[in-house]
Amino acid sequence: MATWSSAFATAFKILLLSLIWWIIGFILIVAGAAVIGAPLIPMLRDTPPTPPRWPPQGLFFGSIILGLALMIAGYLIIVLGTMASFLKYSAEYYAREITKAPPPPPAPPTY
């Protein structure tokens, strides 16, 4: 029979590892947004006498692609890392509980 303490310990491990994956994924998402938005900073900081051009100078297609790739990678790390944490620790928990189960009763003798 599973105890509450072992169930909560397993849940805490899943939560802790999922939180780590969320932090790593969020850092990648923010880095991707920064790569996309970094060329826009000079346009926002300076007030040009002429109307700004679109797309602004320095905004390259490569930075948009790289930023989107980083953001997608961050999202995938969050989703897959959380699922992997759940599957890993829940499988270990179930395997541990099955090995602790008492052996089945012996079969009745046949005459």
pLDDT digits (tens, 9 = 90+) for 5-17: 999 999 999 999 9
Closest CA to 73 of 14, 31, 15, 16: 31
* Residue 27 in this model has a pLDDT that exceeds 70: yes
- 71-75, 86-90, 98-102: least confident range: 98-102
The position carrying tokens 């303490």 is 5
* Residue 4 in this model has a pLDDT that exceeds 80: yes
Q: What is the pLDDT of residue 22?
A: 97
Residues 6+ apart with CB under 8 A from 17: 81, 85, 89
Q: What is the pLDDT of residue 50?
A: 60
pTM metric for this prediction: 0.73
**Distance between CA 32 and CA 60 in Å, rounded?**
14
Beta strands in the chain (DSSP E): none
